[in-house]
């Protein structure tokens, strides 16, 4: 790895470990101290390494420096005199015994515990995602603002408010008790799912950022699967979805960052290794009796890894969407179901069904109708594309609709 | 938006005309597609259940008769709960029910909100 890439790389992989281990040690009430120490350590690394050259083991250097900072902090600050010292006196631990557990196990456990603390139902979902990006993925406020397509100070305030709430609720950095874990894991899963979608469906043209978001979501998901208590069928189903979707990463944009639609993609660019991983986790997910929406979505994503249009493929996808909608309605699932219906049962039936959806303020609804009418009634196709264009919000969507309109005018 | 109970009635299959497993499979698709259609319109409250043909009717003085189809040849074969703004809309939604293609019928009744 080139030297100028080393610090960003280490920041991605080590920042969350430092914050998690320190956060675990200091407790949620002092989470900012953990964040500050981790950030200061990286700042110091960039200065020192630039001047004196790289240390033999950069990762070990980061740990040594941050732990020394943490110990200094514990000794000298108010935290020590007001809170920690009281506890230390109680348990009669001498000052030189201030230990910070740096075992691999504690580093892994702390991150998982931090994940549960952040994905806590007492804060809104967008705060959970924001905090996950900030603490667990090492994203800066600017990057988070870019991913959410919002202003820097909005994100800054959101994160600060969320941390205050977690403190006020006295949220512990720990794995929830066995009787709580099922519900709490659901919140974690939902957050990881949105984190991934934020990257995968992001309208930001920054493809590196999109990929990073997806990779981070997958890393956090893998952590759940590596732990016995959180390695549930749903966690496997979600990872399976992520693997199937990200297998098309290289195929779905051109070098300019323009979207290439699924049907126009080059199958040779699909990542076979990720597809195989997706199949592996889908098999792992099929243990147990509970069929979650994640299982159904994973199965739909599985069928999309088969490019060829076969009756079997689309009939399966249609029935999966029929089930998914019965579990949970969403406009996107309703539109996708109607597309599958067209492929499985024909356009005529799909047009009747599409007209019933009445999602008239959704640009994707008009895009779908435009597509269905294309071989039947070009006038209707054009009028729906015009409606879609008027409703579309982001540039990439508008460009695609305009292109389609131009090709029809010829 | 109100909930409506859809009651499906049809003539139970007799022993002579028991459908084959393949026929049963083929019969499922229209039902699944119809449920999917209702759900896609966000009008499905509960898919409900299908009922077996055999059943007993318990009458006063513990008189038990074998099945409900003594007086009528039509038996309840299942039910579904949908949501709609009016009885008219619920009735319209019921027109897609596959039981109509099998010689059965649908009774649409508003559920009284408690």
- CA end-to-end span of chain A: 51
Q: Render pLDDT for A308-326 as a digit per residue (tens, 0 to 9).
A: 999 999 999 999 999 999 9
Q: What is the pLDDT of residue A93?
A: 43
Q: Render pLDDT for A188-197 as a digit per residue (tens, 0 to 9).
A: 998 899 889 8
Q: Which of A40-49, A55-64, A251-260, A361-370 has the lowest mean pLDDT?
A: A251-260
Q: What is the pLDDT of residue A92?
A: 43
Q: What is the pLDDT of residue A91?
A: 47
Q: Please report residues of A whose CB lies closer than 8 A to that of B42.
A: 329, 334
Q: CB distance A356–B35 less than 8 Å?
A: no
Is A342 near chain B, with CB under 8 Å?
no
Q: What is the pLDDT of residue A394?
A: 77
Is A362 near chain B, with CB under 8 Å?
no
Q: What is the pLDDT of residue B30?
A: 94
Q: What DSSP character marks residue A169?
A: T
Q: Which residue has the higher pLDDT, A108 or B4?
A: B4
Burial of residue A287 (CB within 10 Å: 0-12, 13-18, 19+) is exposed
The residue-averaged pLDDT of A336-359 equals 95
Is 0.80 topped by the overall pTM?
A: yes
Q: Residues A227, A202: contact at Cβ < 8 Å?
A: no
Taking only residues 79 to 98 of chain B, the set having a beta carbon closer than 8 angstroms to any beta carbon of chain A reads: none
Mutate to test the interface with A, among B39, B45, B47, B94 (most CBs of A within 10 A): B39
Which domains are present in chain B?
A: 2-13+20-110 (3.30.70.1060)
Which residue in chain A has the smallest CA separation from B44? A326
Q: What distance in Å separates residue B73's CA from the closest CA in chain A? A: 32
The residue-averaged pLDDT of B30-57 equals 93
Q: Residues B77, B10: contact at Cβ < 8 Å?
A: yes
The residue-averaged pLDDT of A259-286 equals 93
Q: Which residue has the higher pLDDT, B11 or A128?
A: A128
A327 has pLDDT over 80: yes
Q: What is the pLDDT of residue B53?
A: 78
Per-residue confidence band for A77, with pLDDT thresholds at 50, 70 and 90 = low
Q: What is the pLDDT of residue A200?
A: 87
Q: Residues A175, A229: contact at Cβ < 8 Å?
A: yes
Closest in B29, B41, B44 to A326, CB measured: B44
Q: How far apart are CA A274 and CA A277, in angstroms?
A: 5
Q: Please report residues of A whose CB lies closer than 8 A to that of B82.
A: none
């Amino acid at each position: 790895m080139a030297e100028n890439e080393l610090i960003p790389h280490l920041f991605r992989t080590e920042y969350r470990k430092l914050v998690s281990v320190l956060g675990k040690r200091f407790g949620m009430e002092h989470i900012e101290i953990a964040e500050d120490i981790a950030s200061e350590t990286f700042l110091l690394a960039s200065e020192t390494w630039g001047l004196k050259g790289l240390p033999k083991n950069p990762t070990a250097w980061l740990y040594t420096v941050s732990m020394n900072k943490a110990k200094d902090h514990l000794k000298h600050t108010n935290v020590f005199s007001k809170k920690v010292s009281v506890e230390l006196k109680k348990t009669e631990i001498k000052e030189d015994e201030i230990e910070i557990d740096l075992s691999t196990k504690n580093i892994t456990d702390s991150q998982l515990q931090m994940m549960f603390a952040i994905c806590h139902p007492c804060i809104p979902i967008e705060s959970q995602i924001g905090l996950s990006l900030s603490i667990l993925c090492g994203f800066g406020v600017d990057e988070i603002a870019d991913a959410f397509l919002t202003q820097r100070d909005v994100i800054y305030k959101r994160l600060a408010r969320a941390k205050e709430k977690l403190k006020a609720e006295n949220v512990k950095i720990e794995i929830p008790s066995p009787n709580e874990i099922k519900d709490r894991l659901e919140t974690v899963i939902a957050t990881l799912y949105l984190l991934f979608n934020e990257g995968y469906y992001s309208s930001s043209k920054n493809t590196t950022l999109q990929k990073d978001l997806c990779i981070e979501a997958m890393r956090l998901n893998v952590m759940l699967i590596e732990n016995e208590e959180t390695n549930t069928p749903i966690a496997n189903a979600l990872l399976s979805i992520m693997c199937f979707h990200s297998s098309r990463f290289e195929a779905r944009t051109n070098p300019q960052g323009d979207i290439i639609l699924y049907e126009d993609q080059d199958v040779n660019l699909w990542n076979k290794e990720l597809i195989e991983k997706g199949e592996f986790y889908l098999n792992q997910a099929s243990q147990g009796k509970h069929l979650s929406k994640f299982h159904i979505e994973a199965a739909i994503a599985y069928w999309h890894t088969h490019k060829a249009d076969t009756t079997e493929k689309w009939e399966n996808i249609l029935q999966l969407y029929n089930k998914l909608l019965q579990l949970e309605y969403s406009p996107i699932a309703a539109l996708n179901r109607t597309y599958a219906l067209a492929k499985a049962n024909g356009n005529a039936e799909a047009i009747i069904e599409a007209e019933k959806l009445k999602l008239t303020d959704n640009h994707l609804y008009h895009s779908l109708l435009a597509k269905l009418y294309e071989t039947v009634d070009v006038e209707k196709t054009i009028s729906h594309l015009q409606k879609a264009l008027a409703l579309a919000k982001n540039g990439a969507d508008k460009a695609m609709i305009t292109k389609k309109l131009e090709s029809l005018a010829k | 938006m109100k909930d409506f109970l859809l009651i499906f009635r049809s003539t139970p299959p007799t022993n002579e005309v028991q459908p084959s497993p393949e026929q049963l499979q083929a019969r499922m698709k229209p039902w699944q597609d119809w449920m999917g259609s209702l759900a896609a319109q966000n009008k499905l409250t509960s898919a409900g259940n299908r009922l077996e043909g055999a059943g007993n009717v318990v009458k006063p003085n513990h008189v038990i008769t074998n099945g409900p189809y003594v007086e009528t040849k039509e038996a309840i074969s299942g039910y579904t709960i949908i949501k709609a703004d009016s009885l008219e809309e619920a009735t319209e939604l019921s027109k897609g029910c596959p039981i109509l293609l099998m010689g059965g019928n649908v009774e649409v009744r508003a559920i009284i909100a408690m």
